[in-house]
Amino acid sequence: MRGTVLGPVWAWLLAFVGLPAIVLAVIALAQPADGVPPYELGAGFDDLATVFTDPYYRDAFLASLRVSAICSALCLLIGYPMALAIARSAPARRPLLLLLVMLPFWTGFLLRVAAWVGLLRDDGWINAALLALGVIDAPLPLLHTDGAMIVGIVYAYLPFMVLPLEARLARADPALEQAAADLGAPPWRVFLRVTWPLSLPGVAAGLVLVFVPVMGEYVIPELLGGPGSMTMGRVIWTELFDNHDWPMAASLALVLTGLLLLPALALRAAPPNRA
């Protein structure tokens, strides 16, 4: 019985996770060549080894790790108060507030990122406003910087942090907090000892939902980031399109996927749901 229920899940995993991983592995072991497609099958482990030994790729990985960590932390910092406020709002207003969090999804992702280009460019709205107000004399270089990239990523991924957090916080029994308060705990202690620990599974889910996709993010670093922000997504793109080195690109993607399983496994090992 359990098998039949889980059947579609396994089939889905096999079709959309397992098979692509196998295809990636086959290409990663191939050799680049002139042809359509541009590789010859083989069993060369050079590219996979290069991923680990070449500082160029290591730096790209560390750059992605750094961006992911910063953006996850910022999303948590901004998203937690939002989630808490929504979870504690009047039940009649909650659906509306949640809808507002999800509203950006009604607009295409690319369009929303491109909108930031319009805001941040030298003759964009932000610089135009600051110039008009006399705050600055020359446009600030905002676009194509690490800061622009991080703002864009936090903006785009914030809902993925707020939604699981809110779901978790809304499910916590308010009686527990009331009990803590009745027993004399000040609000900050109620938060640290009751609210925060109860929300941890939501925090973990939100962090994974932000951290993992940002590690491979290509669009936002490409459109908003500077030439120095060579993240994994951009490096894979460069290998695939600029260098026509599909095996190298596949090796990078495979290693990245493998490394990203770690936080997912960590989440699995996290304390089980106690509420």
Site for other proteins in 118-177 (CB under 8 A): 122-123, 141, 144
The residue from 218, 259, 263, 270 that contacts other proteins (CB under 8 A) is 218
Q: Please report which helix (H) or strand (E) contains residue 68, including its range.
A: helix 55-87
The residue from 34, 106, 269, 272 that contacts other proteins (CB under 8 A) is 34
From 17-25, 28-36, 64-72, 92-100, span contacting other proteins (CB under 8 A): 28-36
> Under the phi-then-psi rule, with left for phi > 0, alpha for psi from -120 to 50, and beta for the rest, what region is 41?
beta
Could you say whether residue 36 binds other proteins (CB under 8 A)?
A: yes
Min. distance of Cβ 77 from other proteins in angstroms? 29
The residue from 21, 26, 38, 50 that contacts other proteins (CB under 8 A) is 38
CA distances 181 to 81, 87, 178, 188, 200, Å, are 20, 19, 5, 10, 20
Could you say whether residue 196 binds other proteins (CB under 8 A)?
A: no
Site for other proteins in 231-260 (CB under 8 A): 238, 240-245
CA distances 241 to 14, 38, 140, 244, 248, Å, are 28, 11, 32, 5, 11
Closest C-alpha to 89, from 80, 97, 81: 97
- What distance in Å separates the CA atoms of residue 126 and residue 15, rounded to the nearest whole number? 46
**Facing residues of 39 across strands?**
32
Nearer to other proteins, 182 or 242 (CB): 242
Binding residues (CB under 8 A) for other proteins: these are 32, 34-38, 56, 108, 110-111, 114, 117, 122-123, 141, 144, 218-219, 222-223, 227-228, 230, 238, 240-245
